[in-house]
Amino acid sequence: MLAHPGEPFLLADWLDVLMIHLEVDQTALQQATPFELDLFDGRAFVSLVAFTMRRMRPRQGGRLAACLFRPIANHPFLNVRTYVRQGDEVGIYFLAEWLPNALSLLLGPRSFGLPYRLGRIDYGHHFPRADGRFAGQVVDRLSGAAFRYRGAPIPAATKPEPCPEGSLEAWLMERYIAFTQHRGRSRYFRVWHPPWCRSPVKVEILNQDLLNRYWPWMAEAELIGAGGAPGFKDVWMGLPMFVAGS
């Protein structure tokens, strides 16, 4: 990213990150995704990423620039993402992103092509913690449909560690380019942070009406695992770029 002028564009803290991984029907997922799917041993996946963003601000511009970003700098997210390839690159594609900030809802699609949706979000996870029990809820403001979950660390696996090299979990988590599409225009942007250190957690999905409402085939998804991570400070986020030919 540093090889390109103006990069990284933004910095932010991504904190108390929970990733819930689902295996889904490949054909149904491809119909919902404008990019070619990236598969692991012929299997297709969707991940739900619940986290809190803090201190988003431009890398340049100092306190004044940070002050201008303050109205959109701090809030929770629920990202629903899948795994795609574009040419020689592999990355993620956002099926949808819920957040409670109406101003971000106006800006995100126009700037980065992000599929933002307004929601009420209540998270109760702080990784890592010895007792470690957690829960969360996201409610779609438009429909009232909810996604609710609870969980706890897997015994003897509470210390955050890197994903084993070559594992499915590493394939799911270590992604550093995001593809988006808004009004027929495809974009991408890059991110950078150290490799994830996560603790395996056991998650129970209590209500997934939110997922089923927008993607009915999610009702048949199989929960394959989850991980919690403390997250990172000063994550790099690059400028949005248009995909060639879009």
Domain boundaries, the chain: 10-242
Tokens 């890592």, residue?
128
Q: How many CB atoms lie within 10 A of CB 150?
A: 16
Q: What is the CATH number of domain 10-242?
A: 2.40.400.10
Q: Where are the beta strands (DSSP E) in the chain?
A: 10-24, 36-37, 44-58, 75-86, 89-99, 116-123, 134-140, 146-153, 161-162, 177-182, 185-192, 197-208, 222-237, 241-242
Nearest to 138 by CA among 129, 147, 130: 147
Structure tokens at 184: 């027929």
- Output the tens digit of pLDDT for each of the chain's 246 residues: 888 888 999 999 999 999 999 999 999 999 999 999 999 999 999 999 999 999 999 999 999 999 999 999 999 999 999 999 999 999 999 999 999 999 999 999 999 999 999 999 999 988 877 567 899 999 999 999 999 999 988 876 567 889 999 999 999 999 999 999 999 999 999 999 999 999 899 999 999 999 999 999 999 999 999 999 999 999 999 999 999 876
- pTM value is 0.95
The confidence score (pLDDT) of residue 32 equals: 97
Work out the burial of residue 74: count CB atoms within 10 Å of its CB; fewer than 13 is exposed, 13-18 middle, 19 or more buried: middle
Q: Cβ contacts of residue 149 below 8 Å, gap of 6+?
A: 20, 135, 136, 137, 203, 204, 205, 206
- For residue 64, the model assigns a pLDDT of 95
Q: Can you give the three-state secondary structure of 212-233, one letter per residue?
A: HHHCHHHHHCEEEEEEEEEEEE
Tokens of 86: 């574009």
CB atoms within 10 A of CB 193: 14
For residue 155, the model assigns a pLDDT of 73
What's phi and psi for 168, nearest 5 deg?
-60, -40
CB neighbours of 189 closer than 8 A, spacing ≥ 6?
112, 177, 178, 180, 237, 238, 239, 240, 241
